[in-house]
Amino acid sequence: MREFSGNVVSNGAVFGKIAVFGGDEYVPEEKEVEDTDKELARLNAALDEAKSELEGLYEEAIDKVGEENALIFDIHKMMLEDLDYTENIQNLINEDRLCAEYAVFETGKVFSKTFADMDDDYMKARSVDVLDISNRVIRKLTGKAEATLEGDEAVIILAEDLTPGETINMDKSKVLAFVTRKGSSSSHTAILARSLGIPALVKVDFGSVALTELEGREAAVDAVNGKLYIEPDFKAKEAIDKLIKELNLENVLLSELKGKENVTRDGRKIEIFANIGSENDVDRVIENDAGGIGLFRSEFLYLGRSEAPSEEEQFASYKEVVERLDGKKVIIRTLDIGADKKASYLGLSEEDNPALGYRAIRICLNKKDLFKTQLRAIFRASALGNVGIMFPMITSVEEVKRIKIIVDEVKEELIAQGVTIGNPELGIMIETPAAALISDELAKEVDFFSVGTNDLTQYTLAIDRQNENLAEFYNPHHKAILMLIKMACDNAHKNGIWVGICGELAGDTALTRTFVDMGIDELSVSPTKVLSLRKAVRNI
C-alpha cells in the first residue's frame, strides 16, 4: 500500500480504480508566417469560437451547479476579451511573425506566470484560468480535441490539474473523486467539485511518482482527512469503509429532518433560510427545505454582460423566485458590485484596495438611475409574495436616510403609474465595524439587520480573507467579531427589529449555540447546509 497526503477541498470518501486524466502539456510548434493578416483572421475566428464554446459551458453549468458557480465561464469569456491579453498575441503575430497558436501559447505562459508570482493566493489560482483559456483557443486553431473521460466505469480521476471546462464536461456518474497534484482551495475546479458534491483532494504530494504509474490501480480516497491510498491494505479499507458508512448515515439522518421545525430542545425557534445567486438556485432551496431566502445576491444579474439588466429582466427573475417560494420570505440584496465583482459598462476604474473602495451602496447612491431601476423591479415583485430589501455596505445613518428618500420616490412613481406594489421590509447589512458600533441608531431606521460575517471579519481583523498566507491569523471566531455581532443583535431587539446572519459563520455549527444564546433570529446559509444547521439547532 502507498499513502499520499493532500488538501481536502470537497468532503467525501470512496473506493475505486484510478484513471489518469490528461497528460503532457501540448506545445505548438514555433513557426514563422508570411501572411500576418491571414494569421490574425485565424486568431479572431478561434477567439470567436472559444467565446461561443464558453457561452455553451455557462448554460450547461447553470443547470449543474447554479448561476453563481457558472459565472466561472463568463469570467473566462471576459478574460478572452481582455485587451492586454489579445493585443499581446496580435503583437507577436505582427512583429515577430509567429503563427497564431504559438503566439497564444507564449502569451498564456507570460500572463499565467504573472498571476502565479502574485502574493495573493486567490490571484495565484487565476494562473490556471489563463492557461485554460489559452489552451481553448489553441484547440480551436489546431483542431485538437479536448481531453475526455473514456470508458463506462466510474473512476477516481487523477490529474496534474483540472480546468473548470474539463470538470463541468465530465459525466458526474462516471466520477467518484478528483485528485490532483496541483490546484488550491481557491481554484474554480475546487469550487465546482464542492457544488457537484464530488470528493476532491488537491496539492497531493506524490513526490517523484509519475501519475501514469498509478493508472488502473485500486485506490481509496479519504477526502475528510486528506489521504489517498493506492492498493489499500485491510486496515485502510476498514477505516474508509467505516467513514463511508458514517457519511451515508449522516445524509440519511439529515434527510429525515425535512419538514421538521428549527426548534431547540427548550423551545427556541430559529429561522433557517438559504443564500442564492439566481432563480436557477431555487430548486436547491426547496429540495433542502429552507424556510425562505435570506440572501438573494442580485449582482449576478449584472455580471458577464455588456449593459445593465433592464427593469423587465430583473422583474422576471425576482418574480420567478418570489412565486416559487410561495409565501416564504425572499430577501433581495441590492446591487453589491465592485471589489472582486466588476461590470465593464459601469466604467469603474482600477483601485489599489477595491475591498475598501467604490462598491455596493456607494455605487447605487451615485448612480441613482441604476438604483431606481432595480428598486422598481423589486417593488413590483413584492406585490406577488413576501419580500424584503437589504442594502449592503452601510456605514452611516445618513446613507440609510438617502436610501429611504430614493425608495419613497420609487414607490410614489409606481403608484402614480397605477402599478401594484407590496410593502417589503427594508433592512441593512451589518458588515462593517462602523455599522455594528452605531447599530442602535441604525436600528431606528430599518425593519431588520442581516450580519455579513465575511466582510465584517476581514474589516475587523484587517485581513484579506482570500489570502491563504494569512490563514493562521484569520480567525472568524475572534472575540471582537462576536462582540460586534452581539452588539448589533442587542440593539436590534432593543429597537423592536429582527436580526439574522447571512455570512459563512451562519453555517458554522461550532457557533450555532453562541448565536442562539445571543438571540439571533435567523441564519441564512448555502442550501446544502440547511439540514445540518437544523440538526445543530434541534440538539441545543
Supply the mean pLDDT for the chain.
89
What is the distance between the alpha carbons of residues 108 and 129, in angstroms, rounded to a whole number? 10
CA 16 vs. chain centroid, Å, equals 29
Residue 340, pLDDT above cutoff 60: no
pLDDT value, residue 184:
77
pLDDT value, residue 467:
65
Residue 295, pLDDT above cutoff 60: yes
pLDDT value, residue 511:
95
Of the chain, the end-to-end C-alpha distance in Å amounts to 43
Per-residue pLDDT reduced to its tens digit, 73-83: 888 888 888 88
Angle at the Cα of 492 (from 490 to 496), degrees rounded to 5?
A: 115
Among 376-380, 470-474, 509-513, whose mean pLDDT is lowest?
A: 470-474
Domains (ranges, CATH) in the chain?
2-23+147-235 (3.50.30.10), 36-142 (1.10.274.10), 269-538 (3.20.20.60)
Angle at the Cα of 208 (from 206 to 210), degrees rounded to 5?
A: 75
pLDDT value, residue 22:
76
Burial of 491 (0-12, 13-18, 19+ CB in 10 A): buried
In the block, residue with C-alpha cell 441613482: 368
Where do the H-state alpha helices sit in 383-511? 397-416, 433-437, 439-443, 453-461, 479-494
Per-residue pLDDT reduced to its tens digit, 404-431: 999 999 999 999 999 999 999 999 999 9
The model's confidence at residue 191, banded by pLDDT at 50, 70 and 90, is confident
pLDDT value, residue 229:
93
Beta strands in 44-195 (DSSP E): 155-159, 175-180
Q: Which residue has the higher pLDDT, 89 or 184?
A: 89
Give the strand order in the sheet containing 2-5.
2-5, 227-230, 218-223, 12-20, 155-159, 175-180, 200-202, 7-10
Among 132-136, 189-193, 318-322, whose mean pLDDT is lowest?
A: 189-193
In DSSP terms, 389 is beta-bridged to 332, 426
Residue 119, pLDDT above cutoff 70: no
Element (H, E) at 127: helix 121-142
% the chain with pLDDT above 90: 57
DSSP count for the chain of H helices, then E strands: 19, 16
Q: Which of 493, 527, 512, 526 is nearest to 270 (CA)?
A: 512
Burial of 159 (0-12, 13-18, 19+ CB in 10 A): buried
Mean pLDDT, range 63-89, rounded to an integer:
82
Which pTM does this prediction carry?
0.70
Query: Is 511 strand, coil or helix?
Result: coil
Mean pLDDT, range 278-282, rounded to an integer:
82
What is the distance between the alpha carbons of residues 448 and 162, in angstroms, rounded to a whole number? 43
Mean pLDDT, range 171-176, rounded to an integer:
86
Other Cβ atoms less than 10 A from the Cβ of 252: the count is 9
- Please count the CA atoms within 13 angstroms of the CA of 178 that sit on its side-chain side: 35
Query: Is 162 strand, coil or helix?
Result: coil
Tell me the pairing of strands 200-202 and 175-180.
Answer: parallel
Query: Is 35 strand, coil or helix?
Result: coil
% the chain with pLDDT above 70: 94
Residue 466, pLDDT above cutoff 80: no
pLDDT winner (highest mean) among 264-278, 286-300, 401-415: 401-415
The model's confidence at residue 11, banded by pLDDT at 50, 70 and 90, is confident
DSSP code of 305? S
Q: Roughly what angle, to the nearest 10 degrees, separates helices 368-382 and 397-416?
A: 60
Residue 336, pLDDT above cutoff 70: yes
Mean pLDDT, range 15-42, rounded to an integer:
88
In the block, residue with C-alpha cell 433592464: 310
Per-residue pLDDT reduced to its tens digit, 513-525: 999 999 999 999 9
Rg (CA), the chain: 25
- Long-range contacts from 197-200, C-beta under 8 angstroms, 24+ separation: 197/10, 197/12, 197/528, 198/10, 198/12, 198/172, 199/10, 199/11, 199/12, 199/13, 199/14, 199/223, 200/8, 200/9, 200/10
The model's confidence at residue 123, banded by pLDDT at 50, 70 and 90, is low
Instruction: Tell me how far CA of residue 148 lies from CA of 26, 28, 42, in angstroms.
Output: 15, 20, 25
pLDDT value, residue 24:
60
Count the helix, strand and coil residues of the chain and give each as a percent rounded to the nearest 5: 50, 15, 35
What is the distance between the alpha carbons of residues 21 and 147, in angstroms, rounded to a whole number? 8
Q: Where in the sequence numbering do the catalytic residues fall?
A: 188, 502
